[in-house]
Protein backbone atom coordinates (compact mmCIF):
# COMPACT_ATOMS: atom_id res chain seq x y z
CA UNK A 1 0.00 0.00 0.00
CA UNK A 2 1.75 3.14 -1.19
CA UNK A 3 2.06 6.22 0.93
CA UNK A 4 4.32 9.21 1.21
CA UNK A 5 5.15 11.68 3.95
CA UNK A 6 4.91 15.42 3.59
CA UNK A 7 4.60 18.40 5.94
CA UNK A 8 5.75 17.95 9.48
CA UNK A 9 2.69 18.12 11.72
CA UNK A 10 4.18 17.52 15.11
CA UNK A 11 7.76 18.05 16.19
CA UNK A 12 8.85 17.27 19.74
CA UNK A 13 12.43 17.91 20.74
CA UNK A 14 14.21 17.15 23.98
CA UNK A 15 10.98 17.37 25.95
CA UNK A 16 11.05 16.92 29.70
CA UNK A 17 8.51 17.65 32.41
CA UNK A 18 9.22 17.78 36.12
CA UNK A 19 6.86 18.33 39.03
CA UNK A 20 9.01 20.15 41.52
CA UNK A 21 12.12 18.03 41.97
CA UNK A 22 10.60 14.95 40.39
CA UNK A 23 11.32 14.46 36.69
CA UNK A 24 8.40 12.56 35.23
CA UNK A 25 9.34 12.41 31.56
CA UNK A 26 12.64 13.23 29.89
CA UNK A 27 14.49 13.10 26.55
CA UNK A 28 11.33 12.77 24.49
CA UNK A 29 11.96 13.31 20.79
CA UNK A 30 9.69 12.46 17.93
CA UNK A 31 8.31 13.73 14.65
CA UNK A 32 5.00 12.98 13.00
CA UNK A 33 4.44 13.93 9.39
CA UNK A 34 1.42 14.25 7.19
CA UNK A 35 0.80 10.87 5.58
CA UNK A 36 -0.47 11.01 2.02
CA UNK A 37 -2.16 8.09 0.28
CA UNK A 38 -3.51 8.23 -3.23
CA UNK A 39 -7.28 8.50 -3.62
CA UNK A 40 -7.72 8.66 0.10
CA UNK A 41 -7.92 11.34 2.78
CA UNK A 42 -5.60 9.93 5.41
CA UNK A 43 -5.27 11.49 8.81
CA UNK A 44 -2.67 10.27 11.27
CA UNK A 45 -3.34 7.98 14.20
CA UNK A 46 -0.65 7.81 16.86
CA UNK A 47 -0.86 5.50 19.85
CA UNK A 48 1.08 5.88 23.08
CA UNK A 49 1.33 2.82 25.28
CA UNK A 50 3.19 2.11 28.47
CA UNK A 51 2.60 0.87 31.97
CA UNK A 52 0.83 2.96 34.60
CA UNK A 53 2.65 5.94 36.00
CA UNK A 54 5.22 6.11 33.18
CA UNK A 55 4.06 9.58 32.20
CA UNK A 56 1.57 9.17 29.35
CA UNK A 57 -0.90 11.63 30.81
CA UNK A 58 1.91 14.02 31.61
CA UNK A 59 3.17 13.84 28.04
CA UNK A 60 -0.35 14.58 26.81
CA UNK A 61 -0.78 17.56 29.09
CA UNK A 62 2.46 18.94 27.72
CA UNK A 63 1.47 18.23 24.10
CA UNK A 64 -1.79 20.08 24.57
CA UNK A 65 -0.07 23.08 26.14
CA UNK A 66 -1.79 22.55 29.48
CA UNK A 67 1.53 22.34 31.33
CA UNK A 68 4.72 24.09 30.38
CA UNK A 69 7.55 21.71 29.56
CA UNK A 70 10.57 22.00 31.84
CA UNK A 71 12.86 21.74 28.84
CA UNK A 72 12.47 21.26 25.12
CA UNK A 73 9.90 22.39 22.65
CA UNK A 74 6.77 21.21 20.93
CA UNK A 75 5.97 22.55 17.49
CA UNK A 76 2.82 22.04 15.47
CA UNK A 77 2.00 23.01 11.90
CA UNK A 78 0.66 26.53 11.71
CA UNK A 79 -2.31 26.16 9.40
CA UNK A 80 -3.42 29.75 9.81
CA UNK A 81 -0.84 30.93 7.27
CA UNK A 82 -0.59 29.90 3.63
CA UNK A 83 3.13 29.21 3.74
CA UNK A 84 4.06 25.54 3.67
CA UNK A 85 5.75 23.96 6.63
CA UNK A 86 5.11 26.92 8.89
CA UNK A 87 5.44 25.87 12.50
CA UNK A 88 4.40 27.39 15.80
CA UNK A 89 4.89 26.49 19.41
CA UNK A 90 1.87 24.79 20.89
CA UNK A 91 -0.40 26.83 23.14
CA UNK A 92 -3.34 25.80 25.27
CA UNK A 93 -6.42 25.39 23.09
CA UNK A 94 -4.49 24.56 19.91
CA UNK A 95 -4.82 20.83 20.42
CA UNK A 96 -8.06 19.24 21.47
CA UNK A 97 -7.86 17.19 24.64
CA UNK A 98 -10.28 14.58 25.96
CA UNK A 99 -9.11 13.49 29.39
CA UNK A 100 -9.49 10.13 31.09
CA UNK A 101 -12.64 11.19 32.92
CA UNK A 102 -14.34 12.79 29.91
CA UNK A 103 -14.72 16.04 31.84
CA UNK A 104 -17.47 18.41 30.67
CA UNK A 105 -19.00 21.60 32.05
CA UNK A 106 -21.16 20.31 34.89
CA UNK A 107 -23.67 23.12 34.44
CA UNK A 108 -24.17 22.83 30.69
CA UNK A 109 -26.41 20.39 28.85
CA UNK A 110 -25.01 18.49 25.88
CA UNK A 111 -26.54 21.04 23.51
CA UNK A 112 -25.31 24.03 25.52
CA UNK A 113 -21.79 22.54 25.70
CA UNK A 114 -21.63 22.13 21.95
CA UNK A 115 -22.99 25.62 21.38
CA UNK A 116 -20.27 26.87 23.71
CA UNK A 117 -17.63 24.96 21.75
CA UNK A 118 -18.78 26.79 18.61
CA UNK A 119 -18.77 30.21 20.25
CA UNK A 120 -15.64 31.39 18.45
CA UNK A 121 -16.90 30.53 14.97
CA UNK A 122 -17.83 34.04 13.96
CA UNK A 123 -18.54 33.20 10.33
CA UNK A 124 -21.44 30.93 11.32
CA UNK A 125 -24.92 32.16 12.10
CA UNK A 126 -26.88 30.89 15.06
CA UNK A 127 -29.02 28.75 12.75
CA UNK A 128 -25.99 27.21 11.07
CA UNK A 129 -24.55 26.35 14.47
CA UNK A 130 -27.83 24.76 15.48
CA UNK A 131 -27.92 22.75 12.25
CA UNK A 132 -24.36 21.58 12.74
CA UNK A 133 -24.98 20.54 16.33
CA UNK A 134 -28.15 18.65 15.44
CA UNK A 135 -26.37 16.83 12.61
CA UNK A 136 -23.59 15.69 14.91
CA UNK A 137 -26.00 14.75 17.69
CA UNK A 138 -27.96 12.45 15.42
CA UNK A 139 -24.84 10.96 13.80
CA UNK A 140 -23.35 10.23 17.21
CA UNK A 141 -26.55 8.93 18.79
CA UNK A 142 -26.90 11.78 21.27
CA UNK A 143 -30.20 13.28 20.08
CA UNK A 144 -32.19 11.86 22.96
CA UNK A 145 -29.86 13.24 25.61
CA UNK A 146 -29.31 16.67 24.10
CA UNK A 147 -30.91 18.47 27.04
CA UNK A 148 -29.28 16.40 29.76
CA UNK A 149 -26.48 17.45 32.07
CA UNK A 150 -23.20 15.50 32.36
CA UNK A 151 -24.29 13.90 35.63
CA UNK A 152 -27.24 12.43 33.77
CA UNK A 153 -25.16 10.86 30.97
CA UNK A 154 -23.48 7.48 30.68
CA UNK A 155 -19.70 7.29 30.32
CA UNK A 156 -19.92 6.68 26.57
CA UNK A 157 -22.29 9.60 26.05
CA UNK A 158 -20.05 11.92 28.05
CA UNK A 159 -17.05 10.82 26.03
CA UNK A 160 -18.78 11.36 22.69
CA UNK A 161 -19.90 14.82 23.80
CA UNK A 162 -16.35 15.63 24.84
CA UNK A 163 -15.00 14.46 21.47
CA UNK A 164 -17.52 16.51 19.47
CA UNK A 165 -16.71 19.57 21.60
CA UNK A 166 -13.08 19.22 20.61
CA UNK A 167 -13.87 18.61 16.94
CA UNK A 168 -15.87 21.84 16.98
CA UNK A 169 -13.32 23.90 18.80
CA UNK A 170 -9.77 22.77 18.07
CA UNK A 171 -7.74 22.62 14.91
CA UNK A 172 -6.49 19.44 13.32
CA UNK A 173 -5.10 17.74 16.40
CA UNK A 174 -6.90 15.74 19.02
CA UNK A 175 -5.36 14.04 22.04
CA UNK A 176 -7.36 11.40 23.90
CA UNK A 177 -6.15 9.98 27.19
CA UNK A 178 -7.26 6.35 27.50
CA UNK A 179 -10.38 6.68 25.36
CA UNK A 180 -11.11 2.95 25.54
CA UNK A 181 -11.00 2.38 29.25
CA UNK A 182 -14.23 1.62 31.03
CA UNK A 183 -16.30 1.25 27.87
CA UNK A 184 -18.38 -1.69 26.73
CA UNK A 185 -17.89 -3.36 23.32
CA UNK A 186 -20.47 -1.13 21.68
CA UNK A 187 -18.87 2.06 22.97
CA UNK A 188 -15.43 0.85 21.84
CA UNK A 189 -16.84 0.40 18.35
CA UNK A 190 -18.25 3.96 18.57
CA UNK A 191 -14.84 5.38 19.43
CA UNK A 192 -13.24 3.45 16.56
CA UNK A 193 -15.81 4.92 14.19
CA UNK A 194 -15.14 8.36 15.62
CA UNK A 195 -11.45 7.88 14.87
CA UNK A 196 -12.05 6.97 11.25
CA UNK A 197 -14.54 9.81 10.87
CA UNK A 198 -12.05 12.34 12.20
CA UNK A 199 -9.15 11.09 10.13
CA UNK A 200 -11.23 11.03 6.96
CA UNK A 201 -12.30 14.66 7.38
CA UNK A 202 -8.95 16.26 6.63
CA UNK A 203 -5.43 15.27 5.58
CA UNK A 204 -3.91 17.05 8.56
CA UNK A 205 -6.20 15.59 11.19
CA UNK A 206 -4.11 13.78 13.74
CA UNK A 207 -5.31 11.65 16.62
CA UNK A 208 -2.99 10.85 19.48
CA UNK A 209 -4.29 8.44 22.10
CA UNK A 210 -3.07 6.27 24.91
CA UNK A 211 -4.38 2.85 25.78
CA UNK A 212 -3.73 -0.15 27.96
CA UNK A 213 -5.18 -2.37 25.27
CA UNK A 214 -2.16 -3.11 23.08
CA UNK A 215 -4.33 -4.84 20.48
CA UNK A 216 -6.30 -1.64 20.01
CA UNK A 217 -3.07 0.30 19.64
CA UNK A 218 -1.77 -2.07 16.97
CA UNK A 219 -5.11 -2.31 15.20
CA UNK A 220 -5.84 1.40 14.92
CA UNK A 221 -2.57 3.29 14.93
CA UNK A 222 -0.11 3.86 12.13
CA UNK A 223 2.58 4.92 14.58
CA UNK A 224 3.08 3.54 18.09
CA UNK A 225 5.28 4.88 20.87
CA UNK A 226 6.10 2.87 23.95
CA UNK A 227 6.76 5.02 27.02
CA UNK A 228 8.67 3.40 29.83
CA UNK A 229 11.56 3.70 32.24
CA UNK A 230 14.77 3.41 30.21
CA UNK A 231 17.61 1.13 31.23
CA UNK A 232 20.85 3.08 31.39
CA UNK A 233 24.11 1.24 32.16
CA UNK A 234 22.11 -1.74 33.36
CA UNK A 235 20.04 0.37 35.77
CA UNK A 236 16.38 1.40 35.59
CA UNK A 237 16.02 5.17 35.46
CA UNK A 238 13.02 6.64 37.29
CA UNK A 239 11.58 8.75 34.49
CA UNK A 240 9.54 7.94 31.44
CA UNK A 241 10.84 8.25 27.92
CA UNK A 242 10.20 6.70 24.53
CA UNK A 243 11.69 3.22 24.75
CA UNK A 244 10.42 2.04 21.39
CA UNK A 245 8.80 3.43 18.29
CA UNK A 246 6.96 1.18 15.87
CA UNK A 247 6.07 2.60 12.50
CA UNK A 248 3.18 0.46 11.31
CA UNK A 249 3.35 2.10 7.88
CA UNK A 250 6.91 0.94 7.36
CA UNK A 251 5.96 -2.55 8.47
CA UNK A 252 3.19 -2.41 5.90
CA UNK A 253 0.63 -3.14 8.60
CA UNK A 254 -1.18 0.18 8.81
CA UNK A 255 -4.77 0.52 7.47
CA UNK A 256 -5.17 -3.25 7.39
CA UNK A 257 -7.41 -5.68 9.18
CA UNK A 258 -5.95 -7.18 12.33
CA UNK A 259 -3.99 -10.34 11.37
CA UNK A 260 -1.14 -12.64 12.36
CA UNK A 261 1.51 -9.98 11.72
CA UNK A 262 -0.29 -7.61 14.05
CA UNK A 263 -0.21 -10.23 16.78
CA UNK A 264 3.57 -10.41 16.39
CA UNK A 265 3.81 -6.65 16.96
CA UNK A 266 1.57 -6.92 20.03
CA UNK A 267 3.93 -9.53 21.48
CA UNK A 268 6.94 -7.35 20.74
CA UNK A 269 5.38 -4.33 22.44
CA UNK A 270 4.36 -6.32 25.49
CA UNK A 271 7.91 -7.61 25.83
CA UNK A 272 9.30 -4.08 25.70
CA UNK A 273 6.74 -2.88 28.24
CA UNK A 274 7.65 -5.61 30.69
CA UNK A 275 11.26 -4.44 30.57
CA UNK A 276 10.43 -0.79 31.19
CA UNK B 1 -38.99 -6.21 65.19
CA UNK B 2 -35.45 -7.22 66.07
CA UNK B 3 -34.24 -5.57 62.84
CA UNK B 4 -34.68 -2.02 64.13
CA UNK B 5 -31.93 -2.63 66.69
CA UNK B 6 -29.42 -3.96 64.16
CA UNK B 7 -26.66 -1.61 62.87
CA UNK B 8 -26.81 -0.76 59.13
CA UNK B 9 -30.14 -2.53 58.73
CA UNK B 10 -32.36 -1.26 55.91
CA UNK B 11 -35.91 -0.82 57.08
CA UNK B 12 -39.08 0.02 55.19
CA UNK B 13 -40.71 3.42 54.91
CA UNK B 14 -43.52 2.54 57.27
CA UNK B 15 -41.21 1.27 59.97
CA UNK B 16 -39.19 4.46 59.68
CA UNK B 17 -42.26 6.66 60.10
CA UNK B 18 -43.37 4.53 63.01
CA UNK B 19 -40.01 4.98 64.74
CA UNK B 20 -40.11 8.74 64.28
CA UNK B 21 -43.70 8.94 65.53
CA UNK B 22 -42.82 6.93 68.65
CA UNK B 23 -39.94 9.26 69.43
CA UNK B 24 -42.11 12.36 69.03
CA UNK B 25 -44.73 10.88 71.28
CA UNK B 26 -42.06 9.92 73.82
CA UNK B 27 -40.68 13.48 73.90
CA UNK B 28 -44.14 15.02 74.25
CA UNK B 29 -45.04 12.55 76.98
CA UNK B 30 -41.82 13.35 78.83
CA UNK B 31 -42.62 17.03 78.58
CA UNK B 32 -46.15 16.64 79.94
CA UNK B 33 -45.13 14.38 82.77
CA UNK B 34 -42.00 16.27 83.81
CA UNK B 35 -43.84 19.59 83.95
CA UNK B 36 -46.78 18.32 86.02
CA UNK B 37 -45.39 18.70 89.53
CA UNK B 38 -44.90 21.86 91.60
CA UNK B 39 -41.21 22.48 90.85
CA UNK B 40 -40.02 21.75 87.34
CA UNK B 41 -37.32 22.74 84.88
CA UNK B 42 -39.52 23.11 81.83
CA UNK B 43 -42.70 25.13 81.64
CA UNK B 44 -45.84 23.16 80.93
CA UNK B 45 -47.30 23.07 77.42
CA UNK B 46 -50.11 25.33 78.64
CA UNK B 47 -47.58 27.93 79.81
CA UNK B 48 -45.76 27.76 76.49
CA UNK B 49 -49.02 28.22 74.65
CA UNK B 50 -49.76 31.26 76.78
CA UNK B 51 -46.27 32.48 75.95
CA UNK B 52 -47.11 32.18 72.26
CA UNK B 53 -50.28 34.21 72.56
CA UNK B 54 -48.50 36.88 74.56
CA UNK B 55 -45.75 37.07 72.00
CA UNK B 56 -48.23 37.17 69.18
CA UNK B 57 -50.08 40.04 70.79
CA UNK B 58 -46.82 41.92 71.23
CA UNK B 59 -46.26 41.70 67.47
CA UNK B 60 -44.23 38.52 67.07
CA UNK B 61 -44.72 38.59 63.31
CA UNK B 62 -43.22 42.06 63.01
CA UNK B 63 -40.25 40.99 65.13
CA UNK B 64 -39.68 37.91 62.99
CA UNK B 65 -39.87 40.12 59.92
CA UNK B 66 -37.34 42.48 61.44
CA UNK B 67 -34.91 39.64 62.19
CA UNK B 68 -35.34 38.13 58.74
CA UNK B 69 -34.71 41.48 57.12
CA UNK B 70 -31.55 41.96 59.20
CA UNK B 71 -30.47 38.44 58.24
CA UNK B 72 -31.09 39.12 54.56
CA UNK B 73 -29.25 42.44 54.48
CA UNK B 74 -26.27 41.01 56.35
CA UNK B 75 -26.14 37.89 54.16
CA UNK B 76 -26.31 39.84 50.93
CA UNK B 77 -23.44 42.11 51.95
CA UNK B 78 -21.36 39.29 53.45
CA UNK B 79 -21.90 36.97 50.49
CA UNK B 80 -20.95 39.70 48.06
CA UNK B 81 -17.70 40.40 49.89
CA UNK B 82 -16.83 36.73 50.34
CA UNK B 83 -17.70 35.77 46.79
CA UNK B 84 -15.61 38.51 45.25
CA UNK B 85 -12.66 37.61 47.45
CA UNK B 86 -12.98 33.87 46.88
CA UNK B 87 -13.30 34.19 43.13
CA UNK B 88 -10.34 36.53 43.02
CA UNK B 89 -8.37 34.23 45.34
CA UNK B 90 -7.47 32.33 42.17
CA UNK B 91 -5.26 35.30 41.27
CA UNK B 92 -1.92 34.97 43.06
CA UNK B 93 -1.79 38.58 44.37
CA UNK B 94 -5.21 38.28 45.98
CA UNK B 95 -4.74 34.81 47.49
CA UNK B 96 -3.18 36.04 50.78
CA UNK B 97 -5.99 38.54 51.39
CA UNK B 98 -8.68 35.90 51.00
CA UNK B 99 -6.78 33.47 53.24
CA UNK B 100 -6.26 36.17 55.85
CA UNK B 101 -9.96 37.04 55.96
CA UNK B 102 -10.78 33.38 56.44
CA UNK B 103 -8.33 33.18 59.36
CA UNK B 104 -10.05 36.11 61.08
CA UNK B 105 -12.89 33.80 62.10
CA UNK B 106 -10.91 33.09 65.24
CA UNK B 107 -11.34 36.70 66.36
CA UNK B 108 -13.72 37.14 69.27
CA UNK B 109 -16.93 39.06 68.74
CA UNK B 110 -16.23 41.61 71.48
CA UNK B 111 -13.12 43.00 69.81
CA UNK B 112 -15.00 43.47 66.58
CA UNK B 113 -17.93 45.21 68.24
CA UNK B 114 -15.60 47.54 70.12
CA UNK B 115 -14.00 48.88 66.97
CA UNK B 116 -17.22 48.97 65.01
CA UNK B 117 -18.82 50.96 67.82
CA UNK B 118 -16.23 53.68 67.30
CA UNK B 119 -17.21 54.07 63.66
CA UNK B 120 -20.93 53.39 63.82
CA UNK B 121 -23.42 54.92 66.22
CA UNK B 122 -26.75 53.60 65.01
CA UNK B 123 -27.61 50.27 66.68
CA UNK B 124 -29.28 48.78 63.62
CA UNK B 125 -26.35 49.56 61.32
CA UNK B 126 -24.08 48.21 64.00
CA UNK B 127 -25.98 44.92 64.08
CA UNK B 128 -25.66 44.61 60.33
CA UNK B 129 -21.93 45.18 60.29
CA UNK B 130 -21.12 42.96 63.23
CA UNK B 131 -22.92 40.18 61.41
CA UNK B 132 -21.27 41.01 58.10
CA UNK B 133 -17.77 40.93 59.56
CA UNK B 134 -18.54 37.73 61.34
CA UNK B 135 -20.24 35.96 58.47
CA UNK B 136 -17.73 36.99 55.83
CA UNK B 137 -15.01 35.11 57.63
CA UNK B 138 -17.04 31.88 57.76
CA UNK B 139 -18.41 32.24 54.25
CA UNK B 140 -14.98 32.99 52.83
CA UNK B 141 -13.60 29.88 54.51
CA UNK B 142 -16.27 27.67 52.96
CA UNK B 143 -16.09 29.35 49.56
CA UNK B 144 -12.31 29.02 49.45
CA UNK B 145 -12.57 25.31 50.04
CA UNK B 146 -15.27 25.16 47.36
CA UNK B 147 -12.86 26.75 44.89
CA UNK B 148 -9.94 24.55 45.84
CA UNK B 149 -12.09 21.42 45.57
CA UNK B 150 -12.55 21.98 41.83
CA UNK B 151 -10.62 19.32 39.94
CA UNK B 152 -7.74 20.37 37.69
CA UNK B 153 -9.48 18.50 34.85
CA UNK B 154 -12.33 21.00 34.89
CA UNK B 155 -9.96 23.92 34.39
CA UNK B 156 -8.04 21.99 31.73
CA UNK B 157 -11.27 21.13 29.93
CA UNK B 158 -12.19 24.81 29.71
CA UNK B 159 -8.68 25.74 28.63
CA UNK B 160 -8.70 23.09 25.92
CA UNK B 161 -11.82 24.80 24.53
CA UNK B 162 -9.80 27.98 24.06
CA UNK B 163 -11.12 29.76 27.12
CA UNK B 164 -8.67 32.36 28.34
CA UNK B 165 -7.97 32.40 32.06
CA UNK B 166 -10.72 34.91 32.85
CA UNK B 167 -13.22 32.83 30.92
CA UNK B 168 -12.09 29.74 32.83
CA UNK B 169 -12.75 31.62 36.06
CA UNK B 170 -16.15 32.76 34.81
CA UNK B 171 -17.30 29.47 33.32
CA UNK B 172 -15.90 26.93 35.76
CA UNK B 173 -15.76 28.75 39.08
CA UNK B 174 -18.45 31.42 38.87
CA UNK B 175 -21.14 29.95 36.64
CA UNK B 176 -20.25 26.33 37.29
CA UNK B 177 -20.58 26.58 41.06
CA UNK B 178 -23.62 28.79 41.77
CA UNK B 179 -25.42 25.85 43.31
CA UNK B 180 -22.47 25.30 45.63
CA UNK B 181 -22.67 28.92 46.77
CA UNK B 182 -26.28 28.41 47.82
CA UNK B 183 -25.23 25.27 49.65
CA UNK B 184 -22.41 27.16 51.40
CA UNK B 185 -24.87 29.82 52.55
CA UNK B 186 -27.21 27.13 53.81
CA UNK B 187 -24.43 25.35 55.68
CA UNK B 188 -23.38 28.56 57.38
CA UNK B 189 -26.91 29.70 58.06
CA UNK B 190 -27.11 27.91 61.39
CA UNK B 191 -24.18 29.92 62.77
CA UNK B 192 -25.54 33.11 61.26
CA UNK B 193 -29.00 32.62 62.64
CA UNK B 194 -27.67 31.88 66.10
CA UNK B 195 -25.30 34.85 65.91
CA UNK B 196 -28.08 37.08 64.68
CA UNK B 197 -30.27 36.49 67.71
CA UNK B 198 -27.30 36.97 70.02
CA UNK B 199 -26.23 40.16 68.30
CA UNK B 200 -29.77 41.47 68.46
CA UNK B 201 -29.94 40.84 72.17
CA UNK B 202 -26.55 42.44 72.87
CA UNK B 203 -26.94 45.48 70.66
CA UNK B 204 -30.54 46.23 71.37
CA UNK B 205 -32.28 48.09 68.60
CA UNK B 206 -35.95 48.58 67.96
CA UNK B 207 -36.95 44.97 67.47
CA UNK B 208 -36.15 41.47 66.38
CA UNK B 209 -36.27 38.06 67.99
CA UNK B 210 -33.17 38.78 70.07
CA UNK B 211 -34.93 41.82 71.50
CA UNK B 212 -37.87 39.63 72.52
CA UNK B 213 -35.58 37.11 74.20
CA UNK B 214 -33.93 39.86 76.17
CA UNK B 215 -37.35 41.03 77.36
CA UNK B 216 -38.48 37.56 78.38
CA UNK B 217 -35.23 37.06 80.28
CA UNK B 218 -36.03 40.01 82.48
CA UNK B 219 -39.40 38.70 83.52
CA UNK B 220 -38.21 35.15 84.04
CA UNK B 221 -41.16 34.08 81.97
CA UNK B 222 -40.36 30.47 81.18
CA UNK B 223 -43.31 29.82 78.90
CA UNK B 224 -42.32 32.77 76.77
CA UNK B 225 -38.68 31.79 76.52
CA UNK B 226 -39.47 28.28 75.33
CA UNK B 227 -42.11 29.58 72.92
CA UNK B 228 -39.55 31.96 71.50
CA UNK B 229 -36.92 29.25 71.18
CA UNK B 230 -39.38 27.17 69.22
CA UNK B 231 -40.17 30.11 66.95
CA UNK B 232 -36.49 30.79 66.31
CA UNK B 233 -35.80 27.13 65.60
CA UNK B 234 -38.72 26.82 63.21
CA UNK B 235 -37.90 30.03 61.30
CA UNK B 236 -34.24 28.94 60.99
CA UNK B 237 -35.18 25.50 59.74
CA UNK B 238 -37.62 27.04 57.25
CA UNK B 239 -34.91 29.19 55.68
CA UNK B 240 -32.72 26.12 55.52
CA UNK B 241 -35.48 24.19 53.79
CA UNK B 242 -36.22 26.99 51.33
CA UNK B 243 -32.57 27.34 50.30
CA UNK B 244 -32.24 23.61 49.77
CA UNK B 245 -35.45 23.59 47.76
CA UNK B 246 -34.26 26.51 45.60
CA UNK B 247 -30.98 24.78 44.86
CA UNK B 248 -32.61 21.53 43.85
CA UNK B 249 -35.29 23.16 41.70
CA UNK B 250 -33.18 25.68 39.86
CA UNK B 251 -30.07 23.55 39.42
CA UNK B 252 -31.05 20.15 38.12
CA UNK B 253 -27.42 19.13 37.77
CA UNK B 254 -26.75 19.90 41.41
CA UNK B 255 -26.02 16.63 43.13
CA UNK B 256 -24.21 17.58 46.28
N1 LIG C 1 0.45 17.09 39.35
C2 LIG C 1 1.40 16.20 39.68
N3 LIG C 1 2.27 16.47 40.67
C4 LIG C 1 3.24 15.59 41.00
N5 LIG C 1 3.41 14.41 40.42
C6 LIG C 1 2.58 14.06 39.42
C7 LIG C 1 1.53 14.94 39.00
N8 LIG C 1 0.86 14.33 37.99
C9 LIG C 1 1.47 13.15 37.80
N10 LIG C 1 2.50 12.98 38.65
C11 LIG C 1 3.40 11.81 38.72
O12 LIG C 1 3.90 11.61 37.42
C13 LIG C 1 4.02 10.23 37.14
C14 LIG C 1 3.38 9.93 35.82
O15 LIG C 1 2.01 10.12 35.90
P16 LIG C 1 1.05 10.02 34.64
O17 LIG C 1 1.54 10.97 33.62
O18 LIG C 1 -0.35 10.19 35.11
O19 LIG C 1 1.31 8.53 34.15
P20 LIG C 1 0.42 7.57 33.23
O21 LIG C 1 -0.60 8.41 32.55
O22 LIG C 1 1.41 6.95 32.29
O23 LIG C 1 -0.18 6.54 34.13
C24 LIG C 1 3.40 9.49 38.32
O25 LIG C 1 4.44 8.98 39.10
C26 LIG C 1 2.65 10.54 39.06
O27 LIG C 1 2.69 10.29 40.42
MG1 LIG D 1 -2.60 8.35 32.62
Q: Are B256 and B179 in contact (CB under 8 A)?
A: yes
Give per-residue pLDDT as tens, B186-237.
988 888 888 888 888 887 776 788 888 877 766 667 788 888 889 989 999 9
Rounded to whole angstroms, how far apart are CA atoms B147 and B114? 33
Determine whether the interchain pair B251/A103 forms a contact, defined as Cβ–Cβ distance below 8 Å.
Answer: no
Q: Does B173 touch chain A (CB under 8 A)?
A: no
Q: Which of A92, A105, A120 sits opposite B159 (nearest CB)?
A: A92
Q: Does A34 touch chain B (CB under 8 A)?
A: no
Q: Which of B150, B157, B181 to mutate to test the interface with A (most CBs of A within 10 A)?
A: B157
How many residue pairs from chains A and B have C-beta atoms closer than 8 A? Answer: 62
Beta bridge pairs of residue A5 = A35
Interval B98-121 mean pLDDT? 84
Rounded to whole angstroms, how far apart are CA atoms A270 and B115? 71
Beta bridge pairs of residue A226 = A49, A244
Ligand number, closest to the Cα atom of A178: 2
Q: Check residues B231 and A38 and name the one with the higher pLDDT.
A: B231
Residues 6+ apart with CB under 8 A from B240: B186, B189, B190
Distance A68 CA to ligand 1 centre (A): 15
Residue A84: predicted pLDDT: 67
Residue B219: predicted pLDDT: 63
Ligand 1 nearest atom to the CA of residue A178, by list position = 21
Ligand number, closest to the Cα atom of A229: 1
Smallest CA-to-CA distance from A111 within A94, A93, A136 is with A136
Nearest C-alpha of chain A: how many angstroms from B246? 16
Q: Which of B146, B149, B155, B160 to mutate to test the interface with A (most CBs of A within 10 A)?
A: B160
Q: Are A105 and A113 in contact (CB under 8 A)?
A: yes
**0.95 surpassed by complex ipTM:** no
Q: Sort A183 into a burial class: Cβ within 10 Å, 0-12 / 13-18 / 19+.
A: middle
Query: Residues of B with CB below 8 A from A97's CB?
Result: 156-157, 160
Rounded to 5°, the CA angle A111-A115-A117 comes to 115
Q: Are A211 and A178 in contact (CB under 8 A)?
A: yes
CATH of B59-250, one of 3.40.250.10, 3.40.50.300, 3.40.390.10, 1.10.3720.10: 1.10.3720.10
Provide the sign of the torsion angle of the four alpha carbons B43, B48, B50, B56, taken in this order.
positive
Q: Quick one: what percent of chain A has pLDDT higher than 70?
A: 98
Smallest CA-to-CA distance from A32 within A19, A16, A22, A43 is with A43
Give per-residue pLDDT as tens, A75-106.
998 877 666 668 899 998 899 999 999 999 99
Q: Does A219 touch chain B (CB under 8 A)?
A: no
As a residue count, chain A comes to: 276
Provide the sign of the torsion angle of the four alpha carbons A134, A192, A158, A152, taken in this order.
positive
B71 C-beta neighbours (distance < 10 Å), count: 24
Determine whether the interchain pair A99/B156 forms a contact, defined as Cβ–Cβ distance below 8 Å.
Answer: yes
Domain boundaries, chain B: 59-250
Q: Are B133 and B116 in contact (CB under 8 A)?
A: yes
Q: Are B185 and B143 in contact (CB under 8 A)?
A: no
Interval B82-97 mean pLDDT? 95
Segment among A51-55, A149-153, B182-186, B224-228 with least mean pLDDT: B224-228
Residue B122: predicted pLDDT: 85
A103 C-beta neighbours (distance < 10 Å), count: 21
Determine whether the interchain pair B153/A101 forms a contact, defined as Cβ–Cβ distance below 8 Å.
Answer: yes
State chain A's mean pLDDT as an integer: 92
Distance B245 CA to ligand 2 centre (A): 39
Amino acid sequence: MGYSMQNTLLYVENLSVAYGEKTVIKDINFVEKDVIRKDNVTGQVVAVVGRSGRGKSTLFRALTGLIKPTTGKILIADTSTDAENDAKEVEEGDIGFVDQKYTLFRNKTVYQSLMFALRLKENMTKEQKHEKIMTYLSEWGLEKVKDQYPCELSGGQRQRTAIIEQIFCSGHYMVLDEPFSGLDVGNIEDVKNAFSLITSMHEFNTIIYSTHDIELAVELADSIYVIGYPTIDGKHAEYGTIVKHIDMKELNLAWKDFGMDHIEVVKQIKAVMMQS
Amino acid sequence: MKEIFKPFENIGRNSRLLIIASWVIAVLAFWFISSMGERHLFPSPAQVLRGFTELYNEGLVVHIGSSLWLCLVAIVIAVTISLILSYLSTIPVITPIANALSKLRYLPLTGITFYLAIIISDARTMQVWVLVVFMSTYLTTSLLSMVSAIAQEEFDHARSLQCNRWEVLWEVVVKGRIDHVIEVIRQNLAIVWMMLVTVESILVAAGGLGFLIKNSDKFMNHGRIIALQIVILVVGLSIDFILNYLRKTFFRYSKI
